[in-house]
Amino acid sequence: MSKLFSVILYIIAFTVQAKSPYEIIDNSPDLAWRDLNPEQTLYITLESGVVVVEMAAQFAPHHVENTRKLVQEGVFDNTNFYRVVDGFVAQGGPSNPEKLAKPKGGKLTIAAEFTIKPKKPLNFTSIGLPDGYAPQTGFVGGFTAAYDKQKGEYWMTHCYGTLAMGRANEVNSGGTELYIVIGSAQRYLDKNTTVFGRVIAGMEHIQHLQRSSNLKGAVDLKDKNKIISIKIASDLKINKRLALQTMKTNSQSFKDLIASRKNRNSKWFVYQHNHIDVCSVVVPVRLKDAK
Amino acid sequence: MSKLFSVILYIIAFTVQAKSPYEIIDNSPDLAWRDLNPEQTLYITLESGVVVVEMAAQFAPHHVENTRKLVQEGVFDNTNFYRVVDGFVAQGGPSNPEKLAKPKGGKLTIAAEFTIKPKKPLNFTSIGLPDGYAPQTGFVGGFTAAYDKQKGEYWMTHCYGTLAMGRANEVNSGGTELYIVIGSAQRYLDKNTTVFGRVIAGMEHIQHLQRSSNLKGAVDLKDKNKIISIKIASDLKINKRLALQTMKTNSQSFKDLIASRKNRNSKWFVYQHNHIDVCSVVVPVRLKDAK
């Protein structure tokens, strides 16, 4: 009887014990993953390697469409990352877009898409925890997001690896100044620029770029940090594309991942915060082939 | 009369207008700055350049003292960064410390210093805003920190560039596994490891390190990411040291900086969050000579 009791206790303990983030990712079913959308995926070729970015058409449809057109016209080829501030952002593209010939399809400046106000609520996986910058934070379609239920507004948040569009003082002046967050989350920029994607792979190549300044002062990046080309995945031959997948952020596996990030139950942890912020739950990425 | 009124309005507007972070830094008096403590400053020489780290003796006196001794015995020379996870941490030092000969002065493992409980309250510059991970956050002596007033406890927070000590499951097993946060803040590690410094300059050299894995899987870093040497600044000749200064976090300039980070009043911003998190107020650094 006491042995049976021990067995039951063991089963309960085993069942209740939360899984680690790695266990959740490793044990997630294929259904919890989706392929990247090749029409919305950028391959940015730098001197040290390729950076893959997925754009978020749900949040910034015109930026995604316009960037695709500009990419297909070669506007970003042979340009560079001309502003790289360590711990902050790397900004690149044509450094003097106003001097470019008018593109045939894409526009050099387009209207801002800071927030969206969809007619129906989005499939929003809330992190369910307080956040100083937004009423609610969570995930939509694989991207970090914030939600103001009262206003019915959603917007993407500036986390590590987020892609957004630089602009001048005028709100609708962006179009070619791509920037990527390379350090701490930069949440104070939320709702101040159009966020429209995230780096899926190759952040180390962005980090490899030379910085715009060092202790001695400004560094001239004019002939450095070359962007050899940017291509849309769907314009590449199938055998030149990576079979990348990202975890569906409305899947049970991802909800489990949020919970496991909130409290880390492995032996190693001596203090659990019962908290996590939206930028600290990285949406998992995998190569389909490598499973 | 109406002209005088305009002038008064202009003066009020000019006075009330908050300064930008850059204006605050540029206009700060010399009194708002302090030199780094050379006894507590590490010069980490990597293949791509030098990383300068200031250690925080107020938070982890034994780790600072022990690291100084190990550095002086050359324990970190000709080692490497053997674990570099993009967006997370770079960890380096002797990869098999248990195989090292017992050092004469320093110890290979020392007791954890996760939090401190000083007899008198510290000179804590509170950020004065809610935080999901701690009752209060702010700054002590140039370092990001958290404070639990009820318990009288302080600890350092894991922000971009934070230096801490890796360990095995056993709490007191750290001593040589230095790690540096290279992406998002990793606040869930707070109170789980001993945090004892921050990178003052050269983060771009840490970011230059090769990562432990890429899409194809693990990368062997055994003969890569070399740490040529680590030295204590006070052991270097004066002309080999950089005249680095950091802003005093209890100065009025730094308090103004927190306020200006909380609401950015320049024309460019269309949305102000009336919020900032502790890891998003980077403590300014300058070269004394370059003023």
Subunit contact B280:A215, Cβ cutoff 8 A: no
Q: Are B146 and B134 in contact (CB under 8 A)?
A: yes
Q: Are A156 and A196 in contact (CB under 8 A)?
A: yes
Q: What's the whole-number mean pLDDT along residues A112-122? A: 97
- Nearest residue of chain A to residue B84 (CA atoms): A204
CA pair distance B209, B212, nearest whole angstrom:
9
Report the C-alpha dihedral over residues A17, A130, A157, A54, rounded to 10 degrees. 20
End-to-end CA distance of chain B: 44
Per-residue pLDDT of chain B (291 residues; tens, 9 = 90+): 456 665 565 555 444 557 999 999 999 999 999 999 999 999 999 999 999 999 999 999 999 999 999 999 999 999 999 999 999 999 999 998 888 888 889 999 999 999 999 999 999 999 999 999 999 999 999 999 999 999 999 999 999 999 999 999 999 999 999 999 999 999 999 999 999 999 999 999 999 999 999 988 999 999 999 999 999 999 999 999 999 999 999 999 999 999 999 999 899 999 999 999 999 999 999 999 765
- pLDDT recorded at residue A61: 98
- pLDDT recorded at residue A15: 47
- pLDDT recorded at residue A13: 47
Q: Are B150 and B139 in contact (CB under 8 A)?
A: no
From A132, A192, A279, residue closest to B275, measured CB to CB? A132
**Among A248, A201, A257, which residue's Cα sits nearest to residue A22?**
A257
Q: Does B190 touch chain A (CB under 8 A)?
A: yes
Q: What's the whole-number mean pLDDT along residues A180-192? A: 98
Calculate how close chain A gets to B114, using CA atoms only, in Å: 10
Instruction: Tell me the H-state helices in chain A.
Output: 2-16, 21-26, 61-72, 203-207, 252-262
Q: Helix, strand, coil proportions of chain B in percent (round to 5)?
A: 25, 25, 50
**Among B99, B245, B10, which residue's Cα sits nearest to residue A215?**
B245
Report the range of poorest mean pLDDT among A14-28, A156-170, B50-64, B145-159. A14-28
User: Is residue A250 very low, low, confident or very high in pLDDT (cuts 50, 70, 90)?
Assistant: very high
- Nearest residue of chain A to residue B265 (CA atoms): A188
Percent of chain A with pLDDT over 70: 93
What predicted TM-score, i.e. pTM, was given to this entire model? 0.94
Q: Are A31 and A251 in contact (CB under 8 A)?
A: yes
Averaged confidence pLDDT in chain A? 94
ipTM value, please give it.
0.94
Which residues in chain B are contacts of A191 at CB distance < 8 A?
Answer: 270-271
HEC secondary structure over B20-66? CHHHHHHCCCHHHEEECCHHHEEEEEECCEEEEEEECCCCCHHHHHH
Q: Are A139 and A145 in contact (CB under 8 A)?
A: yes
